[in-house]
Amino acid sequence: MSAPLLEAVGLNKRFGAVVAAQDLNISVPAGQRLSLIGSNGAGKTTFVNMVTGYLRPDSGQIRLLGKDVTGQPPRVLARQGICRSFQIPQLFLELTVLENLLVAVTASNPHGLSPWRSSQRADAVAHAHELLARFSLEATAHKPVSELAGGVRKLLDIAMALARHPLLLLLDEPTSAVSVDEKFVTMERLMQALSHEQATVFFVEHDMEIVSRFSERVIAFYSGRIIADGTATDVLANEDVQRHVTGGAV
């Protein structure tokens, strides 16, 4: 039997008296679409930060395809296939959409940065245009990012994370700062774009409509612990989840 894509084994993390992660054990097969839910301070972002190398766990182990990658820095993990987007998109506001994608594509070159060789530049431009098309961003290609709406910025941030063709993609609240009218359109475009990838995808999400519509599996956090793990239907019906996460709303 092949190893799961990602395994978190006995992860613990404290910040003084605050327990941000308590004995977290998660096994994720390749190709899964999974949401992490929980109230603010429940431990979701701490978990994501440990998996992506922004925090080192106090104890426990993180494995990628069976290999221990615990505590490796973000840049090293990105090269191994773990990438993320952020709640607040990390973009170059003065550059155009296409220029942002060219930065991401060039930075993903495993052989170093030499984009001005004609063949490498042609490949980078082609890859950037392929991402524009996949995320339906062609009409904004030459607009500065500072002029873009929130939903478009989110999609661009995720497109940049996909420039490396990651094995594991972690998306921190992909619909935050996106208007109610835009959120389902944004997610539909995102899911269509991800259908071209083999990446396993974690969504950290507060919107239960998004969670129930787009997740194969949901993990609920509370006070640094996992209180439910299963299908969206089962997890959102869980009494502890309703008490501590959704307030009874499904």
pLDDT value of position 242: 95
Instruction: Give the whole-angstrom CA distance, residue 200 versus residue 28.
Output: 8
Instruction: Give the whole-angstrom CA distance, residue 205 versus residue 220.
Output: 10
pLDDT in tens, 42-53: 999 999 999 999
Instruction: Give the whole-angstrom CA distance, residue 113 versus residue 101.
Output: 15
Higher model confidence: residue 249 or residue 175? 175
Residue type, 35: S
What percent of the chain is modeled with pLDDT above 70? 94
Please say whether the beta carbons of 20 and 40 come within 8 A: no
Predicted confidence band of residue 249 (pLDDT cuts 50, 70, 90): low
Q: Is residue 1 part of a domain?
A: no
Structure tokens at 235: 């997890």
Q: Is residue 214 part of a domain?
A: yes
pLDDT value of position 193: 82
Mean pLDDT of the chain: 88
Residue 108 CB contacts under 8 Å (≥ 6 apart), including other chains: 163, 164
How many domains would you assign to the chain? 1
Instruction: Give the whole-angstrom CA distance, residue 25 versus residue 247.
Output: 25
Q: How far is CA 236 from CA 63, 100, 221, 246, in A?
A: 28, 38, 12, 8
Please say whether the beta carbons of 64 and 5 come within 8 A: yes
Q: Is residue 212 part of a domain?
A: yes
pLDDT in tens, 119-164: 567 788 898 999 999 888 999 999 999 998 888 888 898 889 888 8
pLDDT value of position 113: 52
Q: Is the pLDDT of residue 7 over 90?
A: yes
Count, residues in the chain: 250
Q: Is residue 96 part of a domain?
A: yes
Q: Is residue 17 part of a domain?
A: yes
Q: Is residue 61 part of a domain?
A: yes
pLDDT value of position 143: 94
In terms of residue numbers, what domain contains 78? 6-246
Q: What's the CATH number where 160 sits?
A: 3.40.50.300
Phi-psi region of 104 (alpha: psi -120 to 50; beta: other; left: phi over 0): alpha
pLDDT in tens, 79-124: 899 998 887 788 989 999 999 999 888 887 765 555 455 556 778 8
pLDDT value of position 59: 97
Best CA proximity match to 109, nearest among 92, 127, 94: 127
What percent of the chain is modeled with pLDDT above 90? 57
pLDDT value of position 116: 52
Torsion 237-240-244-245 (CA) sign: negative
